[in-house]
Amino acid sequence: MTDSIDWRERMTKDWNERALDDPYFWTVNSRPRYTWEIDDFLYTGEQTYLNEIEPFLRREKLTPPEMTAVEVGCGAGRMTVALAKRFKYVTGVDISDVLARRANDMLQYAQLADKGHCVKCDNDLSMLADGSVDFATSIIALQHIPDPALQLAYIREFGRVLRPGGAFLVIFFDDWNEYQQQQRAWAVRRAANNVLGWDDLAALELPRYETSIRTPVEEMALLSVLTKGKLRLTRTQGKGTEHWWVGGRKE
């Protein structure tokens, strides 16, 4: 992908459009568009929490009711609600202001508006002070940032905002074969766009959803950022797959 592209601006534009189309589908697309019921949508967040986050926190001997949390890529709030049920307070952030508002609506729907809030971010956690959070997470969200450096910027922010002893749990996309196939397909689309002058429209797929392509990060680059942020790995699972779980503690 072209380094000169302002991915943050593109992501805000694209994800706002998706949120206006169907915020639930574009948060979790295991059902066709326009078919999610709110309670079913929230149930997917409950299942992810119970199957993945809760066991991790239990192994780390952490007690969510005494902890604050930050969620990167809150989408329409499926995980935000699950976190707010358990944690003292949760801050959700998203590159899309429309999705952040939807997540706040979801907290209101779940009668948890006093346990969390969601805001638009610009690829950072500047709304949070240094060492102010006990748990940081991002579930199936970072992979949709086309620039790996911007994905790692959030991990760098985790190192800043987590208190000593705080924990983090993140999913990365790590299927490099699929990514390379996607890149070849999009190279054909871009070449056709350049010839036909269709600007943002994808020649072979309309509308264009380039900023939702799943993008991996290099393991060594991630480990370097973790080390610099004093973040110690205690869990890594699914390396080489579409769900590479990475978790640990702040030293």
Q: Based on the structure, what is the number of domains in the chain?
A: 2
On whether the CB atoms of residues 33 and 22 are closer than 8 A, the answer is yes
Give the residue with greater pLDDT, 201 vs 66.
66
Residue written as tokens 């694209």?
A: 14
Residue 118 is assigned to a structural domain of this protein: yes
Based on the domain organization, do 82 and 197 belong to the same domain?
no
Average pLDDT over residues 20-37: 94
Alpha-carbon distance values, 24 to 12, 14, 161, 196 (Å): 17, 15, 29, 33
For the segment 233-242, the average pLDDT, to the nearest whole number, is 97
Query: Binning pLDDT at 50, 70 and 90, where does residue 205 land?
Result: very low
Band of pLDDT at residue 213, cut at 50, 70 and 90: confident
- Based on the domain organization, do 160 and 200 belong to the same domain? no
Residue 4, pLDDT above cutoff 60: no
pLDDT at 211 over 90: no
- Furthest-apart CA atoms within the chain: distance in Å: 58
Residue span of the structural domain in which 183 resides: 178-213
Is residue 67 situated within a structural domain? Answer: yes
The answer to the question of residue 148 being in a domain is yes
Strand order in the sheet with 68-72: 116-120, 89-94, 68-72, 133-138, 162-172, 244-250, 231-237
Q: Is residue 26 part of a domain?
A: yes
Say whether both 167 and 96 belong to one domain. Answer: yes
- Same-domain pairing of 93 and 201: no
Average pLDDT of the chain is 91
> Residue 208 pLDDT > 70, yes or no?
no
Same domain? For 143 and 227 the reply is yes
Mean pLDDT, range 12-33, rounded to an integer? 93
**What is the distance between the terminal CA atoms of the chain, rounded to a whole angstrom?**
35
For the domain that residue 231 is a member of, what is the CATH number?
Answer: 3.40.50.150
Whether residues 84 and 208 share a domain: the answer is: no
Q: Are residues 204 and 102 in the same domain?
A: no
Structure tokens at 249: 């503690």
Kindly state whether residue 234 falls inside one of the protein's structural domains. yes
For residue 106, the one-letter residue type is M
- Residue 154 CA to residue 157 CA, distance in Å, equals 5
Token representation of residue 68:
């604050």
pLDDT of 2 higher than 70: no
Write out pLDDT tens, residues 85-122: 999 999 999 999 999 999 999 999 999 999 999 999 99
What pLDDT was estimated at residue 7?
87
* pTM for the full predicted model: 0.91
- Tell me what pLDDT residue 204 has: 45
Asked if 221 and 246 sit in the same domain, the reply is yes
In a domain, residue 205? The reply is yes
Q: Is there a domain that residue 2 lies in?
A: no
pLDDT, mean of residues 177-190: 81
Same domain, 14 and 122: yes
Q: Provide, rounded to the nearest whole percent, the portion of the chain with pLDDT above 70.
A: 90
Same domain, yes or no: 99 and 80: yes
**Domain co-membership, 88 together with 135:** yes
Residues 176-203, mean pLDDT to the nearest whole number = 70
pLDDT digits (tens, 9 = 90+) for 47-91: 999 999 999 999 999 999 999 999 999 999 999 999 999 999 999
| DSSP string over 131-161 | T-EEEEEESS-GGG-S-HHHHHHHHHHHHHH
**Could you tell me if residue 198 is inside a domain?**
yes
pLDDT, one tens digit per residue, over 109-164 is: 999 999 999 999 999 999 999 999 999 999 999 999 999 999 999 999 999 999 99
Tell whether 244 and 183 lie within a shared domain. no
